[in-house]
Structure 1
Amino acid sequence: MKKLLAGLLGLILLFVIAGAVGTFIPVPFATEPLSNRIEPTPQRILVLSNPIHTDIAIKLDPYLIAQFGFLEEAGVLLQHPDAQWLIFGWGGRSFYLETPTWADLKPMPVLRALTVDQSVMHVDLAGAIDETQDWVTPLTIDNEELRYLLEFIDASFARTDGKVKAVGSYGEFDRFFEANGSFNALFGCNTWTAEALRMAGLKTGLWNPLPQSLALSLRLFNPDNTSEALTEALKLPHNPASF
């Protein structure tokens, strides 16, 4: 028993050290200067956090609705009159689907999240989001960077014969879809968010397994794109609520 506990504590310590080191190594090491881009137009995106998970919110507009029109066929109400943001997240199928709230936490989804699980994309809608809340991290990118971000998100959906497959929902305004890639504790939802943000021209840490480490790396490596909201995001965040 003592050896088991020592081994477990060793793994936890290794995870903490690796997470700390990964936070302070910037990726990518260099980015293309904004001045080299053609007619850059500022675009606002949000990173939404809870204690263990991050999502990316993108402002709904005709271009976004056209690009992700396939979601409407699966029941996502993109043109709902109160919808202002389209929210994307990637995660483990078992934990994601079976744990809508902490009260629903069960051993098997946790075990699968700590080992290997199939992945899903979660798509949700939101109305107005108060960007001053401590679970919201506003970021500004340009139109070209937004295009790369959307291409990365689109490629995360698994397709069969060109079509996505819905596999469940929490309620009326969200849907889960089969996704590409396998989920595990080392490369999970927050590392997916970090990779997506890197596609959008932002720098993150080499490895960001937790929302707090991701927020810290964003603040460290994107000084021209930080605000008090990023400082607030390092606090214990809340669950974002959809309309």
Structure 2
Amino acid sequence: MRRRLVVALVLVVLAPFAGAIVPRPLLTSAAAGREAPRRILVLSNPIHTDIALPADPDVIERLGFLSSSGLPLSDPAVKWLVVGWGGRSFYLETPTWSDLKPGPVLRALTADSSAMHVAIAGEIDQTIEGVIPIDLSEAAFADMVSASLDGFARDADGEPILIEGRSYGPYDRFYEGIGTFNAVVGCNTWTGAVLRRAGLRTGWWNPLPQSLAWSLRTFNDLPGMAATARDGRR
């Protein structure tokens, strides 16, 4: 019995690393060398990843619904729109580590509804740890923005559903998300799926920010790669 428990624990520890070393997709298209004028950032902390989109006119237009929630998208100081998907309870009830409670953690490990978190940001230092700059072609960038927007649940009029009165501060908002959050399908697997829509390769399964970052750097030419692969994205 003890041996089985040890084996199970070893498998749990090794599974995220095993998932990272198998690329997804297995094969990549020979579409390198094209112009890659659009830069995004993958932002990570010890447990979570977000995608920062440039506050360019076309991005602001596609995320224009944020203005109605009070976010000042037209402010020239806004340089990035940071988008992430996560467990609803953990997101809303854990603004800081000091707010950590057993309930949201348990729901995050088992099953929880999801939420989208969007924040506006000024200049971001792209050279520090936890920031991965990635250059995309126009087509790949458009696909990735569409994939990000697919995470928002929508009302009968097709508008994203704001979670009223819940934010970490004046520069972020929460919206209802699509899908169920759990220990297997979490925020970092969502980030990986969105990046694959842009033609990037990731590990097959990346539950941790560290494994996602490692697979991005290992299987892609970063920074400045022309992520224009059009085949086998998923």
- Answer whether TM exceeds 0.5 for this pair: yes
Question: Counterparts in 2 of 1:179-198, with a 5 A limit?
Answer: 179-198=177-196
Alignment-mate amino acid for residue 222 of structure 2? N
Alpha-carbon distance in 2 for matches of 1:191, 1:142: 23
Q: Displacement, 1:59?
A: 0.7
Stretch moving more, 91-100 or 15-24: 15-24
| Aligned position for 2:57 | 62
Q: Displacement, 1:82?
A: 1.3
How high is the TM-score relative to the length of structure 1?
A: 0.85
Alignment-mate amino acid for residue 135 of structure 1? G
3-state SS of the aligned residue for 2:124?
Answer: coil
Equivalent in 85, 88, 101 of residue 90 of structure 1: 85
Equivalent in 140, 145, 153 of residue 158 of structure 1: 153
Alpha-carbon distance in 2 for matches of 1:10, 1:116: 25
Q: Displacement, 1:226?
A: 4.4
Alignment-mate amino acid for residue 182 of structure 1? T
When the two chains are superposed, the root-mean-square deviation of aligned CA atoms in Å is: 2.0
| Aligned position for 1:169 | 167
**Preserved CA contact (<8 Å) 2:135 2:223:** no
Given the superposition, is the C-alpha separation of residues 104 and 195 from structure 1 closer, same or farther in structure 2, using an over 3 Å criterion? Answer: same
| Aligned position for 1:146 | 141
Stretch moving more, 69-78 or 123-132: 69-78
Alignment-mate amino acid for residue 27 of structure 1? R
Provide, for residues 60-110 of structure 1, a one-character-per-residue CA deviation record: whole Å limited to 9, x for no partner.
Answer: 011001111112122222112311000000000000111111111111011
Unaligned runs of 5+ in 2: 225-234
Question: Counterparts in 2 of 1:42-61, with a 5 A limit?
Answer: 42-61=37-56
Q: Displacement, 1:18?
A: 1.6
| Aligned position for 2:219 | 221
| Equivalences, count | 221
Alpha-carbon distance in 1 for matches of 2:117, 2:102: 22
Alignment-mate amino acid for residue 194 of structure 1? G
How high is the TM-score relative to the length of structure 2?
A: 0.88
Provide, for residues 174-201 of structure 1, a one-character-per-residue CA deviation record: whole Å limited to 9, x for no partner.
Answer: 0010010000011100000111111111
**Preserved CA contact (<8 Å) 2:36 2:135:** no
Alpha-carbon distance in 1 for matches of 2:9, 2:175: 32
Q: Displacement, 1:10?
A: 5.2
3-state SS of the aligned residue for 2:16?
Answer: helix
Q: Displacement, 1:32?
A: 3.3
| Aligned position for 1:241 | none
Unaligned runs of 5+ in 1: 228-243
Task: Name the one with the larger helix percent.
Answer: 1
Q: Displacement, 1:28?
A: 1.2
3-state SS of the aligned residue for 1:182?
Answer: strand
3-state SS of the aligned residue for 1:58?
Answer: strand
Alignment-mate amino acid for residue 39 of structure 2? R
Alignment-mate amino acid for residue 104 of structure 1? D
**Preserved CA contact (<8 Å) 2:88 2:112:** yes
Alpha-carbon distance in 1 for matches of 2:223, 2:32: 19
Alignment-mate amino acid for residue 196 of structure 1? V
